[in-house]
Amino acid sequence: KVSGPRMLLFFGTVALYFTYIGQTQRGTILSTTLKCLPIVSLWIFTVTHGGEGFRSLQNSKYKRLIFLGLVFSCLGDIILNYDKFTYGMIAFGIAQAHYISAFGFKPLKIHIGLGLYAAGVFCVQLFYSSLKQILKIGLPIYSLLLLTMCWRALARCEKRNWSKLLCGIGGVFFVASDGLLAFDKFYTPLPYAQLLIMATYYIAQYGITLSIVDADMDDGVSNKKKYSKQPKNKSINNAAKSNHNKSPNGVNKKRN
């Protein structure tokens, strides 16, 4: 209820992308703009949610890290649209590092990570021999970052916390999107590859971004506790001072 209306810009820009991207050429300003607008709309959501604007990025480390992850993701989108795959992968690697830092490593749930890493090794070895030399180093490193991000997103999931659940789903869709991209580029062309890659990618970023709602709620609770204690402490201190200045009979002490 809180986030729905604020996400209209995201859904609108996603609709624009899928409606008009087929009429543009790759590597043009128009196609790049259409591709990046949904992520820019998530920037706006991140900054405006909670009503504090950019100040909220200073007050919430979690929100700041998610915002930076979106920024580097957008940079990666721009670079990939001009077919600079290696540099785009680096930008997305930095984005994944920010997401990992935001999610943290508690609870650990190591079994999730081990399962993802095992699946990752199996998938990468399918097309490893066809990679250029630099990608034989870079792609496994990026895959490690991507799978770690997904592991940490899934490890945070709670049944009754919808924003953390969506974040976990977002992590899975990010792996799916990049997996489709890798298979289409390095293994075998896939039908409707661009549609599938971008659809899963936008779902992934949507889910990850909505996790800031939970962070804002936590910040709000902590701030309420912080400020609710101040008047109480002040009143206690005032009462103590008043009692100290009174005699047992209730008469104020006078200085000699």
Model pLDDT for residues 31-73, shown as the tens digit of each residue: 999 999 999 999 999 999 988 899 999 999 999 999 999 999 9
Q: What does the DSSP assignment read for 148-209? A: HHHHHHHHT-BTTBHHHHHHHHHHHHHHHHHHHHHHHHHT---TTHHHHHHHHHHHHHHHHH
Domain assignment of residue 111, yes or no: yes
Cα(77)–Cα(4) distance, rounded to whole angstroms?
25
**CA-wise closest residue to 31 among 47, 19, 42:** 19
- Would residue 256 count as lying in a domain? no
Instruction: Say how many domains are in the chain.
Output: 1
Q: Is the predicted pLDDT of residue 226 greater than 70, yes or no?
A: no
* pLDDT score of 227: 43
Are the beta carbons of 208 and 224 closer than 8 angstroms?
Answer: no
- Which of 54-58, 142-146, 234-238, 243-247 has maximum average pLDDT? 142-146
Domain enclosing residue 215, as ranges: 5-232
pLDDT score recorded for residue 217 = 64
Sign of CA dihedral 211, 215, 220, 222: positive
Is 239 inside any structural domain? no
Among the listed residues 46, 40, 30, the one whose alpha carbon sits nearest the alpha carbon of residue 10: 40
Q: What is the mean pLDDT of residues 136-162?
A: 97
pLDDT the model gives residue 46: 96
Q: What are phi and psi of 7, to 5 degrees?
A: -95, 0
| pLDDT band (50, 70, 90) for residue 189 | very high
Mean pLDDT of 167-175: 99
Tell whether the model's pLDDT for residue 251 goes beyond 50. no
pTM of the model: 0.85
In a domain, 184, yes or no: yes
Pull the structure tokens for residue 99: 């997401």
3-state secondary structure of 246: strand
Q: Dump pLDDT digits (tens) for 114-146.
A: 999 999 999 999 999 999 999 999 999 999 999
DSSP 99-113: HHHHH-SSS--HHHH
CA distance 43 to 39: 6
CA-to-CA distance for 66 and 61, rounded, in angstroms?
A: 9
The answer to whether residue 178 sits within a structural domain is: yes
In a domain, 17, yes or no: yes
Averaged pLDDT, 154-164: 95
Q: Indicate whether 51 belongs to any domain.
A: yes
Under 8 Å between Cβ of 122 and 92: no
What is the reported pLDDT for 50?
85
Q: Return the closest-CA partner of residue 139 out of 182, 183, 194, 180.
A: 182
